[in-house]
Amino acid sequence: MSTGKAVILAGVVCALALTLSVPMRTYFSQRAEAAQLAQERRQLEADVARLRDRRAQQQDPAYIRSEARDRLRLVMPGETPYIVQVPGIEAPPRPAAPPRSKAPDPWYTDLWRTLSEPQPTSGPEPPAAGLPPAVSHPEGPR
């Protein structure tokens, strides 16, 4: 095989590889996406089945009665409720949540605060030696 034919063959192989690379990449990315979506669908179907079971359970009158007794401490008409209090068995108090430290204000908030609020003054300052007193205009600075 001559060198010219080998170069042409190499060029054809490269062109073929470049032509097939984009569709192959698309094919593999779509396969991965399809597998991910199938997994997500299975998860959602499991969630739907679990929620349907819970809805059916919550529509059962016996479940409603038991939840009303346990959670709300309700009793049926004619029953006498008793609450037994034994010292030392109460649930321990929840520890208080640690106070959150306040995040510092951003720089522009501090800048706006210094511009919008007047600075406290301790009184008129005496003029410096040898300088004339500052003249203030009633209309404000010019």
CA dist., res. 12 & res. 7, Å (int): 9
pLDDT of residue 50: 97
CA dist., res. 17 & res. 59, Å (int): 62
Two tokens, residue 18? 């470049």
Phi, psi of 74 (to 5 degrees): -90, 155
CA dist., res. 15 & res. 21, Å (int): 10
pLDDT of residue 113: 84
Kindly report the CA angle at 55 between 68 and 78, in degrees rounded to 5?
20
Which residues of the chain are modeled with pLDDT < 50?
none
CA dist., res. 33 & res. 23, Å (int): 15
pTM of the entire predicted model: 0.42
- Closest alpha carbon to 65 in 51, 85, 79: 79
Residues 74 and 68 sit within 8 Å (Cβ to Cβ): yes
Return the residue matching tokens 């300052």: 125
CA dist., res. 137 & res. 90, Å (int): 74
Return the residue matching tokens 């800048």: 111
